[in-house]
Structure 1
Amino acid sequence: MDEKDEDPDVFDPNIPEEGPSAPPPGWLEDIHGYQGHKGGEDDNPLYPPPPAYNPQPELNRNTLVPNVRVPTVSEDVARDALIKFVESKWRYSSKPARNLTFKELKPITVYRYRLETYTETRTSAWQFESYNGQPVDGPQYGMSPPPWDIPVSMPPRYTDMVEKIRVPHSSFVKLCHKCNGCGRTRCIQCHGRGRKRCSDCYGKGYKRRHRTNQRTSRKTPCFSCSGKGHQRCISCHGNGYKTCSVCHGSQNLLHFIQLTVTWKNNVAHFIPDRQPDFPDKKFEKVTGDPFFVDESVLVYPIQGFPDREICDVTTKLINEHLNRFSTTSRILQQRQTIELVPLTHAYYSYNGKDFSFFVYGVENKVFTPKYPSACSIL
C-alpha cells in the first residue's frame, strides 16, 4: 500500500463501518399479539376480532321514498347562470347570453346514490429512538395488551384521522445495530483515513507544466493539496468517523411497537348514465338535495325505489364494501344517501341558430358544449 494512503494517527480499526439503518432480521423478538414484526419499516395489518353478532338483512324491508318534485329553474335563473359562466371565460362574449331567446327549459330527473363506510384500521411496526436514560415501559410491567384492546379517542364520525400510539410494555433498550454500540461509524467516503486522494493531481502531489513554445515540461507541486497528494475528507472533517446517524452518539436505542390507528370514510358514488350530451364527471363538483338518508352500523340494500338501477347498485356497492373492509378493518358505521341533483337542459336560439346548455347542481353551474360566439383577439 502506498505510504501516502495510510494514516495510523487517524485510522481506528475499532470503529465499525455503517450497518443497516433498520434492525436486521432476528434483531428483535416477537411480542404476543404482534407477531411478524421483525424490524421491518412497513406497518403490518392487525386483523380485527370477529364481531359479537352477525347482522342479517331484514326480510321484506321496503324503503319509504318521499314524493320528490323535480327541481326546475326559471328563464331568469338560467340566463344569469349562463352570463356568470361566460364571464369567467375570457374567450367568450356575454352578448349572446344576454340577448338569446329561450325555446324550452327541460328539467331532468337525476338521482345520485352515495355509500359511506366509516372504518377503523390498526397496524403496527417496530420503531426506535435514541436512548438517553428516559423511562422504559417494558415487559417487567406486564404483558402488552392486544392491539384492538388499546383504548383510543374516536374522532367525529365520518372524519378521516390518523393517531399513533406507543404500545404499553413493549419497550426495551438494546445496543445500536448501526454502530454496534460505539456511538460513531467509520466514514465511508474516506474509509476511516480522514483524507482522500487529491482529485486534481490524482494523488501524485505534483502537476506537469508545459513551457510555452517548448516541448519540455517540469513538475510543480499541486496547489490543491500542497504537494501531499491527498486532501482532508470533507464528509467527516478529517476525523475518519462520523457520529452514528441512528443513535446520534448515545450508543443505545429504545425499541418499541408503535400502533397506528387510521379512521377513514370510504365513499362510493353512482349516477345512472342516461344523458349522453352531459358528462357525468361534472356532477362530482356540485351538491344535490339529499331526500333520503339511511344510517346504521350496517345498511342494507334499498328495495322498492322507483329507479330499479339504484336498487341494483345498492346491493353491488354494499357487498363490495363488506368484502373489502370487514376482514382488515372494523366497520364502525355506514350511511347511504340518495340525492336529487338538479339538471335542466336549456334550449335557445340566437341570430337564427339553435343552441343549448345545461344548468346543474344546487349551485346552478353551467355546461355548454357549444356557444354562439367568441371574442376575437386583434
Structure 2
Amino acid sequence: YLPAAEGGAAMFAPPAEDFQGPSAPPASMFDSVPGYEGTVAGGGGGFLPPPMPSYPVPQPEPGPHQPHWNIPSISEDTARDAFVLFASSKCCYSAAPAKDGVITRMDAFNTYRYRLETFTESRSTEWKHDPYHGQPVDAFAQPPPGPWDIPAKSPTFFVDDKQVIKVPNTSSLKVNHLKHDWRTKKLPCLCGNGEKTLQKLFCWVCNGSGFRHGDDRCDRCSGRGRENCSQCHGQGSKQCDTCQGKQQLLVYINLTVKWTNNTDNYVVEQSSGLQLDNLSNVSGKELFKDTQYMVYPVTGLPDVTVVNASQRLVREHQNKFCQNSRILQQRQTIELIPVTKVTYSWKGKSHVYFVYGNEFRVSADNYPATCCCTVM
C-alpha cells in the first residue's frame, strides 16, 4: 500500500438544517486516515494491492515428465448395468432396450482434463458506523497498521472464506448529521403531525366521526377520527435508526479479508460425440498433481493441447491475480476421464449410448422406448 500521508484533526459535521431522511452519514463525517485515504462508506475503497514481498519469491519447479496412461475400456457387463440403472431412473423410460438390447460394439474415447487452481487473498476497506454506547475511541492515539500488516486467521488452502476485522486506531466519535429534537432525542416524522396522508386521513372504522355506535368512542383511532401514522404511531416523531436516539456515532474502518479459490478447467476435445458439458460433473483417474506457491506449466505429456493449455492458464492466472491480490498457493491436476461409446441393437435398429466418468454416468439422447406420463 501507499506510504502513510499526514492526517488532519478530527472533523465534526454539524446537524443538517432540515431533515431530509438520509440513512447514513455523509462523506464529510469520515476523516482521512493515513494509509486508508481511498476508503469510502458503503461501497468500500476497492481491493488493495499487496505490498512487494521483502524476501525472494520461491521459483516454481517443473514437475516430472508423465507417461501416457490409458484406461482400458469398461466391460460389457458394466456397460449394461449402468444402462439399466439409467433407464430405471427415468419415469417415462421402458427398461426393455437396456435389458434386452444386444451390444454390438464398444469404443473407448478417454480424454484428459487439466485443472488449475489459484488460491488468493484479497483485502478491501470501508467506513462503518454504529450508535455510540461507550465503545473505546482510539483514533489518532497512534498511526493505524497498514491494511496488509493486520494479522488475519490462517486460511484453509483452496477453500473460500472471509473475515471482517475492525482496523485499530481508526474509531472516532461523531455527532449524528440528522436533525434531532434535542429534548426527546428523536427525529421528526415525515408525516408532520402523526397522522396519515390526506388520501388516508379519515379512520375507515368510524369514517372520521370518532364514534362507532352512539357515544362509543372508536377504538381504532381513539376518537380522533383520523388514522395514526404507522411510522411514528401518532407521535409525530420517531427514534433515529442511524444512532438509535444516542445522537452520536462511532465511525471506524472495517477491513474485509477474502480468500478465494480461482479455478479454470480445460478438457481435451474427443471425437466420440458426447457433449463436453457432461464431463463437468464426473471424476476421472488422477494422473498428475502438483502443488506449489506458484506452479510450473506441465511438460512431457504426449497430448500437446494439454501442455499448451497449462502454459496459457498458468500465465493468465499469475498475471491476473497478482494485480489486486496475494497468491498463497497454486495447484494443478490432470485427470484421465473414461468415455465408452456403446453401440447396441434393439428391435432390428442400431442405437448408441455413452458411459463416462468413474461414476459410470450414462448419456442416451435418443432412447428408443419412451412414453408420456401424466401425473393426476
TM-score range, shorter chain: 0.7 to 0.9
Are the counterparts in 2 of residues 26 and 38 from structure 1 also a CA contact under 8 Å?
no
- Tell me how far 1:229 sits from its aligned partner: 7.8
Aligned mates of 1:276, 1:178 — CA distance in 2 = 69
Q: Which residue of 1 aligns with 2:365?
A: 369
Are the counterparts in 1 of residues 44 and 124 from structure 2 also a CA contact under 8 Å?
no
Q: Does 1:240 align with 2:236?
A: yes
What is the SS of the residue equivalent to 2:307? Answer: helix
TM (normalized to structure 1)?
0.83
Residues 83-135 of structure 1: CA deviation (Å, up to 9, x unaligned) = 11111111111111111111121111200000000000101101111111122
Aligned mates of 2:37, 2:274 — CA distance in 1 = 53
Structure 2 residue ranges without an equivalent (≥5): 1-15, 209-217
Q: Which residue of 2 aligns with 1:143?
A: 143
Residues 302-323 of structure 1: CA deviation (Å, up to 9, x unaligned) = 2221100111111111121122
Q: Which residue of 1 aligns with 2:264?
A: 268
- Label 1:276 to 1:80 Cα distance change in 2 as closer, same or farther (>3 A): closer
Aligned mates of 1:374, 1:97 — CA distance in 2 = 12
**For 2:56, which of 53, 56, 60 is the aligned residue?**
53
Q: Which residue of 2 aligns with 1:44?
A: 46
Aligned mates of 2:340, 2:351 — CA distance in 1 = 14
Q: Does 1:305 align with 2:301?
A: yes
Q: Which residue of 1 aligns with 2:13?
A: none
Residues 46-68 of structure 1: CA deviation (Å, up to 9, x unaligned) = 1101234356666xx57410341
Q: Which residue of 2 aligns with 1:211?
A: none
Aligned mates of 1:131, 1:65 — CA distance in 2 = 63
Q: Which residue of 1 aligns with 2:169?
A: 169
Q: Does 1:339 align with 2:335?
A: yes
The residue type equivalent to 2:30 in the other structure is L
Aligned mates of 2:40, 2:365 — CA distance in 1 = 58
- Tell me how far 1:251 sits from its aligned partner: 1.2
Aligned mates of 2:200, 2:148 — CA distance in 1 = 62
Q: Which residue of 1 aligns with 2:134?
A: 133
Aligned mates of 2:315, 2:168 — CA distance in 1 = 37
- Label 1:225 to 1:362 Cα distance change in 2 as closer, same or farther (>3 A): closer
Are the counterparts in 2 of residues 93 and 373 from structure 1 also a CA contact under 8 Å?
yes
**For 1:320, which of 316, 319, 324 is the aligned residue?**
316
Q: Which residue of 1 aligns with 2:112?
A: 111
Q: How does 1:189-204 map to 2 (within 5 A)?
A: 190-191=191-192, 193-196=193-196, 198-199=198-199
What is the SS of the residue equivalent to 2:99? Answer: helix
- Tell me how far 1:202 sits from its aligned partner: 7.9
**For 1:186, which of 180, 185, 188 is the aligned residue?**
188
What is the SS of the residue equivalent to 1:44? Answer: coil
The residue type equivalent to 2:84 in the other structure is I
Q: Which residue of 1 aligns with 2:213?
A: none
Are the counterparts in 1 of residues 103 and 343 from structure 2 also a CA contact under 8 Å?
yes
What is the SS of the residue equivalent to 2:128? Answer: strand
- Label 1:21 to 1:42 Cα distance change in 2 as closer, same or farther (>3 A): farther
Residues 145-183 of structure 1: CA deviation (Å, up to 9, x unaligned) = 001111111221111101101111111111112346954
What is the SS of the residue equivalent to 2:279? Answer: helix
Q: Which residue of 1 aligns with 2:101?
A: 100
**For 1:283, which of 271, 279, 285 is the aligned residue?**
279
Q: How does 1:251-266 map to 2 (within 5 A)?
A: 251-266=247-262
- Tell me how far 1:298 sits from its aligned partner: 0.8
Aligned mates of 1:154, 1:227 — CA distance in 2 = 64
Residues 281-338 of structure 1: CA deviation (Å, up to 9, x unaligned) = 1111111111101111111222221100111111111121122210100000001110
- Tell me how far 1:371 sits from its aligned partner: 1.4
The residue type equivalent to 1:87 in the other structure is S
Residues 195-219 of structure 1: CA deviation (Å, up to 9, x unaligned) = 345536889x999xxxxxxxxxxxx
The residue type equivalent to 1:75 in the other structure is E
TM (normalized to structure 2)?
0.83
Are the counterparts in 2 of residues 46 and 123 from structure 1 also a CA contact under 8 Å?
yes
What is the SS of the residue equivalent to 2:317? Answer: helix
Q: How does 1:73-84 map to 2 (within 5 A)?
A: 73-84=74-85
- Tell me how far 1:226 sits from its aligned partner: 10
- Label 1:235 to 1:311 Cα distance change in 2 as closer, same or farther (>3 A): same
Aligned mates of 2:124, 2:200 — CA distance in 1 = 53
Query: Which has the higher mean CA deviation after the structures are superposed, 79-88 or 179-188?
Result: 179-188
Are the counterparts in 1 of residues 109 and 270 from structure 2 also a CA contact under 8 Å?
no
- Label 1:292 to 1:177 Cα distance change in 2 as closer, same or farther (>3 A): same
Percentage of matched positions with identical amino acids? 39
What is the SS of the residue equivalent to 2:259? Answer: strand
Q: Which residue of 2 aligns with 1:87?
A: 88
The structure with the largest strand share of the pair is 1
Are the counterparts in 2 of residues 18 and 186 from structure 1 also a CA contact under 8 Å?
no
- Tell me how far 1:235 sits from its aligned partner: 2.1
Are the counterparts in 2 of residues 206 and 227 from structure 1 also a CA contact under 8 Å?
no
Are the counterparts in 2 of residues 197 and 229 from structure 1 also a CA contact under 8 Å?
no
Are the counterparts in 1 of residues 200 and 227 from structure 2 also a CA contact under 8 Å?
no
Query: Which has the higher mean CA deviation after the structures are superposed, 37-46 or 362-371?
Result: 37-46
Residues 35-81 of structure 1: CA deviation (Å, up to 9, x unaligned) = 112434335311101234356666xx574103413232111110110
- Label 1:126 to 1:108 Cα distance change in 2 as closer, same or farther (>3 A): same
- Label 1:46 to 1:106 Cα distance change in 2 as closer, same or farther (>3 A): same
Q: RMSD across aligned C-alpha pairs, in angstroms? A: 2.8
Aligned mates of 2:140, 2:100 — CA distance in 1 = 81
